Amino acid sequence: MPAQLQHEWDLYHATWFTLMGIGGGVFLVARLLRIERGLGVWLGLPVVDLVSFVAIGIGGLVLVWSLGRPLRMLRAVLKPGTSWISRGAIADFIFLVTGGLLILPSLELAGVKPFAALPWDAWASTGAGKAIEVVGLLASAIVIVYAGLVLADKAAITFWRSWLIPAQFVLSSLTMSIATVMVMATLNGTPVGLLECLLLGKVSLLLLLAIAWHLATERAKPGKAESLARLSTRYRWLYFGGVVGAGTLLPALLGFIAAAAPSERAALGIAALPLTVAGGFFLRLVTLRVGYFPPVSGMLRLRKR
Amino acid sequence: MATGTKKVPTYCYQCVAGPDLLNVVVEDGVATKVEPNFGVTEHPAGGRPCVRAYSLVQKLYNPNRVKAPMKRTNPRKGKDQDPGWVEITWDEALDLLAGKLRGIREAGFVDEHGYPKLAVTFGAGGTAPAYLGGFPAFMSAWGGPLDQGIGSGQGMKCVHSEHLYGEYWHRAFTVAPDMPNNTYVLSFGNNGDVSGGVIGIWRHAEARGRGATWIQFEPHMSVTAATAAEWVPIRPKTDAAVLYAIMHVTLREHDWRTVCDVPFLSRMTNAPYLVGPNGYYMRDPVSRTPLVWDEKAGAAVPFDVGHGGATTQDPQTPTEADGFALDGEYTVSGIEVGPDEEIITHASVTARPSLQLLRDFLAPYTPEWAQQISDVSADTIRRVTREFLAHARVGATIDVEGTTLPLRPVAILLGKSINNGWGGYECCWARTVMAALVGALEVPGGILGTTIRLNRPSSNRMESVRPGPDGFMAQPLNATSKEKWQARPTSRSAHKTLVPLVSDGSWSGALSPAQLPWLFMDDAPAKWPEPTPPEVWIVGRSNPAISNWDTNLIIEKLRKFPFVAAFAYTQDETNWFADLVLPDSTDLESFQLFRVGATKYVESYWDHQGVALRQPVVETLPFDTKDLTDVGTELARRLGLLERYNEALNRGVALGVPLRTPHYDRGLDPAKAYTSAEIWDRACQAATLSLSNGAEEHDLAWFREHGTYTVPFSRLNWYLHPEMTKKGLRYELPYQERLKRIGGELKNRLHEQDIRWWDTQLEEYQALPPWKDFPKIWEDVAERFGKKPEDYGLWLLTSRSMQYSWGSQASLPLMADVARHVRGHFGVMMNNTYAKSLGIADGDDVWVESPIGKQRGEAMLRAGCRPDVVVAIGQFGHWATPVASDKESVNLNMLEPIDLSLIDATGSGSDLIRVKVYKA
Amino acid sequence: MRWGMVVDMRKCVGCQTCTVACHEENALPPNVFWRHVVDVEVGEYPDVRRTFMPMGCQHCAEPPCVPVCPTGASQQRKDGIVFVQYDMCIGCGYCAIACPYRARHMVQDHTWYFGEATPSEKQAREPERHGVMTKCTFCKHRVDKAPAGATPGVDPEYTPVCVSSCIANAMHFGDLDDPNSNVSKLRQEHEPGVLLEELGLKPSLFYITE
């Protein structure tokens, strides 16, 4: 059987991966850089966390919608011992619970905080809050890495069987998230920090490196060869022009320029957001769409009489 | 409503290699699936039906079926004319048809041109009889001539050369290898792993498993070429050259006395018969017995001297024949008898044994000569000949049920387009001569005939072997003498007039130049009664509109048929031109008892013989269809033919077994109209009584439960050899003296009528047929249509699809899904390198153009295809059949003309045409 | 006990009888085939080989499709049969991605050959199989019915239908762990290979090529 494209996972899954990447990533980036306050507060809650929940919530719904049996979705947590989808589902769940718990005490409705009695706040300023935040951070780290591991760990698709796939997805999640927090800061009237800009530049370059490394190695491997051929033909413009050029190289430049030009950071951040998000989405979508099952040979030998 | 699950036994006969026995699983009154019938342990292929049988459930419930009788309201007929069907009742429908038939009976059976006004066409290859129920009894009761010469494609697709010559030479309407005993097959285009039926395929596979060798000569790598030990890509229509070279190597490069079966040649062929200067046997002037040269006596003697006809095949027991000369030349006195009893007397002339003539004849046909014609290397030709001769094991014997028979485990097989059309005679002759040279004819391991259709009784090959003139079998030839020749055609295919070999049985009309009705309708040669459209044409289980060549010509004629009654499964391209469509109850819906086992077509020869029942598998049929037995009864009743109809059934017409014999009487009361179940109930009883010689009797109820009844069938009956030796007969090989004479007589008859357009065909009647440039015949077709031959540089061939063969699956989407797994379906295959040179990539649309038209299809690039060949699998080109008409694909039938230049003496042609291919 | 098959590619003629028999036995929807035969061609004219390769689930001893399943629906029995517990499956598709033999099929909705279901399609439909992953089950519904004394692979009633329908007698089913079984004897005699051996999945289908 010649190599054959997979058709199992497509738009829904690319959307799910992207939204998980943004959802987990913004939580991670905002809290690790300690900039969550500057990104806005609404009803007492960190807006970045709300963005995170919405992204993950929609991503989760998209995932559930893609299932053959959506109403059974809760079963997906049953096999963390062997299945990255299970682990990811658990991580999603833990993240939503811990993230939700973390911000709950800070909720303010009509001047009242109904959950203020809880011994922490949304900013993790107490020990208990810090502990919950750590759990949440760990969960969000898994949230942004598991999609790539799903593909890399056991898929039969040669092109996906590389640690460089989860690496690309993580790095892409980070670039999307950094750009998101840059824009959120701008919308909240907070100046965009130097660190965010440098991170945008460096992480984008790392992403570029991961993509290049993946494309340059094991080029002749059965299944991967076909994927590379399809990238170079059918997806030539979208991948190299879109994902690599516009989605990775350009945000890297914007990041470094923004680092050197504080007055331009707001505008550059706003420019970087659609580039990184579109780039991230198409990175995932094209990766799925060039996924070839390797050929299965008939073990024929040419016979000479 | 029925509840629970049951398994209903029935058979599939959608192709001629059957019946395949199967069970239909019925759950709560609904048929759900087909399963093998493992209960029939006698079945040589483990009771397993082939891929097509599994579509029978979908066939049953197909919502695109014709659901009730319909009549046409649009009087205009044409490809673009919607018939305007209106549903009517069965009573109305049968009244309408009966009325038309009554008109014929009252006005006269034959029209002003001498052709029967009623023409009947049922599907190819004898598949239809397994589904017609009692209807043939109606045809028998008709009481006047009816024409079966408007074929369903017979003249173009059917392997007439093999049928007619095979049955003539060794009662082999179809020729099969004795695969259970065979070790070496040379196949020229025989696609047995697609067409061989479940038994053929099972046996071929088993043979491969035990190391037997099959070498496939074929222009493209068919399925059979794929499973073969070796594929030899031969140029189309050059097979005779290779076969002649093989004979050359055998008789001229090897010591023929060592490698050939000399006792067989001496005793059982015309190899020792002396041939005179005019090419006829030297005969005793008084007895007219052919002469041979007795080496011991040093004189010419009648061939039957001494032994009085009895021969023996035991090489240890000498007979007079062993002393007959097989080579040399001798001075002989006697007579030759030419056409029309022309006696040529010779005082002393040089005469040679026919084997000597054969050896001389083969001198120019060297492997080097064959190589430059066929692209098959001389080395290959010599090698396969050497292997063939080694595997032939001349002198070996085997015990078959206590009788010692020769064992010759070699066979040469021919496929369609090799065993029909120009070159078909030469290939069939060469193949059979090669078998005779090593004694591998009708013996274990060699080539066997499995059925007869022209000789009687059709149920028993052995009984049809009767002594005839010159030590050969008697043959039911159509007369060519001045007194008895049928000058005026009795059928539109003129079988009795033009084809002596085809006799005059119920199958003869279709086994003849079935192209002529179409070709000559509106355009007959001078002095030839123009084939008229029949007043009534009944067609069923057949789609002649697209299963003949030159579809546009066919449908142009069909428009003029005044009344067409079609037994219809779905709308199709032929019943598109009908006036009345009658949905018959098909495979899983009606009753019939049909013969199984013994020896039958293709490779269906068993160690048992018997009958199997086909029955309605569900209590309530899905649509308003009718059992054809009931249709026959109803038409007979309406036309006042009930008595004759019942008597025909009593004689065994349609039933396969007489209802009345001296040993039992299960006969029908001639005056009564019986239901299908009642008729087949009696047939079941009669069949079991007959098969068991009175020991057992089973009725329809028993058969509905058990499905099959068999009794042992001696394997000795697989082989004609015991019968031939018992009756002291010889095979009329290698020298075709009688055919030469018959051809001369036919020529005289036709020329007396000033008919010369059959002269090329008359040239086929040669005792030793020289090679002709067969490919050139097709290359020249372009010129006949005003085009340049060099513009059509490729051969378009076709090849069989197991999933679609015999046509019943065309409207079933299940089979389309399944067939797509076999490369080549729904496209046109071509050599990958050649395609790339034209800028054609795999999957590109291409035009395939012949001198008469062009077709568009998807290119499928293959390495296993000659660069000068393109292949369109199967036979499509539908525009009206549901599902099939959704797919556009290249169809050879649209591209090949019906032309006299492409018709051979037996009235057959070959499925190939010269084309050009270019990117669309 | 470990069920397996030996496929004799010398005998297979690519007729797809096994393809359609499986399709019918398991009431599969249009264009879904758990078993199918691949038409393979290698070489360049005139040195060409063509063969036919029955494909489907290989019931690997190390099946990648089982650990990836997030719900545990994709399972392997002690006798080696890999199957899907339909009522546990959520239809995520991960197992299909994990199978290099492309042996898994998911059908979201009811589809019929003619738009509307025919009586046989209605009768045979299995609603539990929509929206979940499906695959060859080695006809465990037949194998498991074998009474004492009956042998799956020998007695056709208790044998996978692909094997028992094969008109070339090219497929054999039996216990790989029993040295006297039909499949074991064929393995000893012919030393057949497996597909994608380099992946280390230890398939239970063995292919005789010469």
Asked whether residue B845 carries a pLDDT value surpassing 60, the answer given is: yes
pLDDT mean over C38-64: 95
Q: What is the dihedral of CA B640, B641, B647, B650, to 10 degrees?
A: -100
Contact across the interface for A154 and C64, Cβ inside 8 Å: yes
pLDDT score at B309: 45
Number of H helices, E strands in chain A: 10, 4
The residues pairing with A31 across neighbouring beta strands, listed in sequence order, are none
Q: Report in angstroms the alpha-carbon separations of C147 from A76, C80, C164.
A: 37, 19, 18
Chains A, B: CB pairs < 8 Å? 4
pLDDT score at C45: 96
Say how many C-beta atoms besides its own lie within 10 A of residue B751's C-beta: 13
Say how many C-beta atoms besides its own lie within 10 A of residue B694's C-beta: 11
- Only one residue has tokens 């064959």, namely B370
**pTM given for the model:** 0.94
- Only one residue has tokens 């372009």, namely B782
> B343 and chain A: CB distance < 8 Å anywhere?
no
pLDDT score at C125: 87
Distance CA B781, CA B895 (A): 12
Nearest to residue B493, comparing CAs of B482, B502, B484?
B502
Distance CA B632, CA B540 (A): 13
pLDDT mean over A44-53: 92
pLDDT mean over B890-913: 93
pLDDT mean over B51-63: 97
Return the DSSP state at A247. I
The enclosing H or E element of B194 equals helix B192-195
pLDDT in tens, B794-816: 999 999 999 999 888 999 999 99
Residue type at position A198 = L
Nearest to residue A25, comparing CAs of A171, A202, A186?
A171
Is the Cβ–Cβ distance between A247 and A279 less than 8 Å? yes
pLDDT band at A300 (very low <50, low <70, confident <90, very high): low
Peptide bond into B457 cis (omega under 30): yes
Which chains form contacts with chain B, at 3 or more CB pairs under 8 Å?
A: A, C
Is the Cβ–Cβ distance between B67 and B621 less than 8 Å? no
Smallest CA–CA distance, residue B821 to chain C, in Å, is 6
B716 token code pair: 């000795």
Is the Cβ–Cβ distance between B657 and B690 less than 8 Å? yes
Contact across the interface for A300 and C40, Cβ inside 8 Å: yes
Distance CA B201, CA C167 (A): 7
Contact across the interface for C97 and A69, Cβ inside 8 Å: no
Grouping H, G, I as helix, E, B as strand and the rest as coil, residue A47 is helix
Is the Cβ–Cβ distance between A181 and A27 less than 8 Å? no
pLDDT score at A301: 54
Which chains form contacts with chain A, at 3 or more CB pairs under 8 Å?
A: B, C
Q: Report in angstroms the alpha-carbon separations of B507 from B173, B491, B593.
A: 12, 12, 20
Is the Cβ–Cβ distance between B159 and B167 less than 8 Å? no
Mean pLDDT of chain B: 95
Q: What percent of chain B has pLDDT over 90?
A: 90
- Only one residue has tokens 């007729």, namely C15
Mean pLDDT of chain C: 95
Residue type at position B231 = W
* A303 interaction partners in chain B (CB closer than 8 Å): 229-230
Minimum CA–CA partner of C163 in chain B: B48
Contact across the interface for C90 and A154, Cβ inside 8 Å: no
Distance CA B875, CA B152 (A): 13
Helix intervals (H) in B772-918: 774-779, 781-784, 813-819, 832-837, 892-895
Asked whether residue B30 carries a pLDDT value surpassing 50, the answer given is: yes
pLDDT band at A303 (very low <50, low <70, confident <90, very high): very low
Contact across the interface for B38 and C156, Cβ inside 8 Å: yes
* A305 interaction partners in chain B (CB closer than 8 Å): 229-230
* B229 interaction partners in chain A (CB closer than 8 Å): 303, 305
B140 token code pair: 């028998």
Top residue of C26, C28, C50 to mutate, by most chain B CBs within 10 Å, is C50
pLDDT in tens, B70-92: 999 999 999 999 999 999 999 99
Is the Cβ–Cβ distance between B632 and B94 less than 8 Å? no
Smallest CA–CA distance, residue A36 to chain B, in Å, is 56
Contact across the interface for A69 and C89, Cβ inside 8 Å: yes
Contact across the interface for B63 and C114, Cβ inside 8 Å: yes
The residues pairing with B681 across neighbouring beta strands, listed in sequence order, are none
Instruction: Determine which of A15-24, A113-122, B683-692 has the lowest per-residue pLDDT on average.
Output: A113-122
pLDDT in tens, C92-136: 999 999 999 999 999 888 889 999 999 999 999 888 999 999 999
Of C19, C123, C169, Cβ closest to residue B205: C169
Smallest CA–CA distance, residue A305 to chain B, in Å, is 8
Minimum CA–CA partner of A1 in chain B: B821
pLDDT band at A305 (very low <50, low <70, confident <90, very high): very low
- Only one residue has tokens 């499995």, namely B450
pLDDT score at B307: 57
Chains B, C: CB pairs < 8 Å? 174
Contact across the interface for B818 and C20, Cβ inside 8 Å: yes
pLDDT band at B320 (very low <50, low <70, confident <90, very high): confident
Smallest CA–CA distance, residue A300 to chain B, in Å, is 12
pLDDT in tens, B269-317: 999 999 999 999 999 999 999 999 999 999 999 998 865 444 555 666 7
Asked whether residue C21 carries a pLDDT value surpassing 60, the answer given is: yes
> B229 and chain A: CB distance < 8 Å anywhere?
yes
Cα B416 to its chain centre, rounded Å, is: 10
B823 token code pair: 């490369």
Q: Report in angstroms the alpha-carbon separations of B693 from B459, B514, B686, B697, B711.
A: 16, 41, 10, 10, 10
Is the Cβ–Cβ distance between A98 and C90 less than 8 Å? no
Is the Cβ–Cβ distance between C166 and B48 less than 8 Å? yes
> C134 and chain B: CB distance < 8 Å anywhere?
no
As a whole number of Å, the end-to-end CA separation of chain A is 26
A153 token code pair: 């760990």
pLDDT band at A176 (very low <50, low <70, confident <90, very high): very high
pLDDT in tens, B231-251: 999 999 999 999 999 999 999
> B107 and chain A: CB distance < 8 Å anywhere?
no
Greater confidence (B916 vs A122) lies with: B916
Beta strand A41-42 with B912-919: parallel, antiparallel or unpaired?
Answer: unpaired
Distance CA B804, CA B823 (A): 13
The enclosing H or E element of B556 equals helix B551-558
Is the Cβ–Cβ distance between A6 and C97 less than 8 Å? yes
Of B33, B198, B832, Cβ closest to residue C25: B33
